[in-house]
Amino acid sequence: MPEGRTLFERACRGERGGHAPVWIMRQAGRYLPEYRKLREEVDFLTATKTPEVAARITLQPMERYPLDAAILFSDIMTPLEGMGVGLDFDPGPVLERPIRSAEDARSLRPLDPEEGTPFVLEAIRLTRAELSPDRALIGFAGAPFTLFCYLVQGGGSKDFMEARSFLRLETEAATALLELLGDSMVRYLAAQARAGADAVMLFDSWVGLLGPDSYRRFVLPLMRRVVGEVRAATHVPIIYFANGGATLLRDVKEVGADVVGVDWTLPLSRAVAELGPDAVVQGNLDPAALFAPRDELDRAIQGVLEEGATARAHVFNLGHGIHRTTDPDQVAFLVDRVHEHSAR
Ligand code: CP3
């Protein structure tokens, strides 16, 4: 497909025109009855590793709603198995053996995407072949710091203290691990773009645990390098979601991504004030707003669109993943309203 043909890709490049493109983080998932039905027969890991199933799930929300972009059904932890990590899901990721020493960290190998994640690349090819050309397909990876949090902690956590203390106690090993994750995710995202992803997104779900000084010391140089190398290897737009990153946005700007994803705690105009008027932002309706009565939800949607109008361009999304108890009809209403209110 010619570069930048979809409305979504044009918005990522900073162009306005037509309606605001909209997609939803975790749009392929448990709030959809068709997803839950499919998952009765196949467990999560198998679903992510079977290209036909992953493509089917990716397309489920696309069939239901006029969304402007699909995001590949997978997980940020999926490529880690190809680096030698033992992994399970319950429902969040659980590591067989957390990384707790320099020696543990050395046991991991860099990812070769064709070797370690061929099913992801095949799922992208299958999905791209079925998706209509005016709708984009987003590939993604976990950002190195967020992957580091899960690897060292061994699973989910509120504060990831094991991971954050490892960073201070074993700084050299931690830095080497972050670099290895960075190199691996560059290759992974480049391979996804070659397989047909129209844009790639880096999820930094836990970066909000860091203050600006730690972000500048441990994350910013690496993220700049990752984004620079992905850009050198592909021509697709790069989205960086720095969850909880309200205090980090001046530094996030220096990462150099094409689009910055913003969580719901910060009005987009304030994000733009930090990122600069040339910024393209993605977000940021509070996922809880989908539980409000329709008139209130509608006002919240208009509010996000008005805030988004302060940026060079705006990709509408939630401020984080959709909750699994959300009513699917509210999502239909949301997508229609975003299109209607932003049409010109
Ligand atoms: O629709 C999409 O957004 C694409 C698919 C997707 C999943 N995970 C599917 C999934 C994406 C982009 C992710 C990314 C992901 N995974 C992140 C970054 C985004 C974020 O939320 O901050 C993180 C931190 C993970 C790790 C992870 N995987 C967690 C914490 C969980 C448990 C989630 C929960 O709500 O309980 C998972 C499992 C997971 N990943 C599910 C899905 C659909 C649920 C699995 C199931 O039971 O069916």
User: Does some domain include residue 2?
Assistant: no
CA distance 89 to 93: 4
Between the alpha carbon of residue 158 and those of residues 86, 125, 162, 163, 164, the distances in Å are 22, 36, 11, 11, 12
Number of domains in the chain: 1
Q: Could you report the per-residue pLDDT of 219-262, keeping only the tens digit for each?
A: 999 999 999 999 999 999 999 999 999 999 999 999 999 999 99
Ligand 1 lined by 205 (C-beta under 6 Å) = yes
User: Does some domain include residue 250?
Assistant: yes
Atom of ligand 1 nearest to the CA of 203: 18
User: Does some domain include residue 215?
Assistant: yes
pLDDT of 1 reads 43
Instruction: Please report, rounded to a whole number, the percentage of residues in the chain having pLDDT higher than 90.
Output: 97
Atom of ligand 1 nearest to the CA of 72: 4
Range of the domain at 265: 7-342
Q: State in Å: Cα 290 to ligand 1 middle.
A: 19
pLDDT of 4 reads 66
DSSP letter string, 208-250: GGS-HHHIIIIIHHHHHHHHHHHHHH--S-EEEEETT-GGGHH
User: Does some domain include residue 114?
Assistant: yes
User: Does some domain include residue 327?
Assistant: yes
pLDDT of 3 reads 57
Q: pTM for the whole thing?
A: 0.97
Q: Could you report the per-residue pLDDT of 283-325, keeping only the tens digit for each?
A: 999 999 999 999 999 999 999 999 999 999 999 999 999 999 9
User: Does some domain include residue 223?
Assistant: yes
Residue whose CA lies nearest to ligand 1 atom number 8: 75
Residue whose CA lies nearest to ligand 1 atom number 29: 92
Lowest mean pLDDT among 3-12, 71-80, 250-259, 278-287: 3-12
CA distance 221 to 225: 6
CA distance 204 to 168: 20
User: Does some domain include residue 1?
Assistant: no
CATH of the domain at 337: 3.20.20.210
User: Does some domain include residue 186?
Assistant: yes
Q: Could you report the per-residue pLDDT of 174-213, keeping only the tens digit for each?
A: 999 999 999 999 999 999 999 999 999 999 999 999 999 9
Ligand 1 lined by 231 (C-beta under 6 Å) = no
pLDDT of 5 reads 86
88 catalytic? Reply is no
